[in-house]
């Protein structure tokens, strides 16, 4: 339906939502030494098993947080696939 006043419709959000894209998190299980940093950074997607190694519950992560985890992993065992 066109606006009678000729004004553009207001946006439904005013920047309160995250505009970050998502990415998929992959762990090289051979390289991983179980430091647990990825689980600390991404607690909703990654937990640690009884030996301290990561278990990924949801591969889709916030791309910014995923990039941070990749950068901080001490053994470069994390990789992101951008969606
Ligand atoms: S931060 Fe790296 S080394 Fe530590 S648990 Fe995660 S993948 Fe493994």
Q: Give the C-alpha separation, 22 to 42, whole Å.
A: 13
Tokens 């600390």 found at: 40
pLDDT tens string, the chain, 83 residues long: the values are 444 455 555 544 444 444 469 999 999 999 999 989 999 999 999 999 999 999 999 889 999 999 999 999 999 999 999 66
Pocket of ligand 1 (CB under 6 A): 27, 32-38, 54, 73-75, 77-78
- Distance (Å) from CA 20 to ligand 1 centroid: 23
- For 29-42, how does the pLDDT look when each residue is reduced to its tens digit (9 = 90+)? 999 999 899 999 99
Domains of the chain with CATH codes = 22-82 (3.30.70.20)
Q: Which helix (H) or strand (E) holds 66?
A: helix 63-72
Q: Give the C-alpha separation, 32 to 44, whole Å.
A: 19
């Amino acid at each position: 339906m066109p606006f009678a006043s000729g004004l553009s419709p207001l946006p439904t959000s005013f920047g309160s939502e995250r505009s970050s894209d998502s990415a998929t998190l992959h762990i090289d299980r051979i390289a991983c030494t179980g430091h647990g940093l990825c689980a600390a950074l991404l607690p909703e997607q990654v937990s640690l098993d009884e030996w301290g190694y990561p278990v990924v519950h949801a591969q889709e992560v916030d791309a910014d947080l995923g990039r941070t985890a990749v950068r901080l992993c001490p053994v470069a065992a994390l990789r992101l696939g951008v969606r």
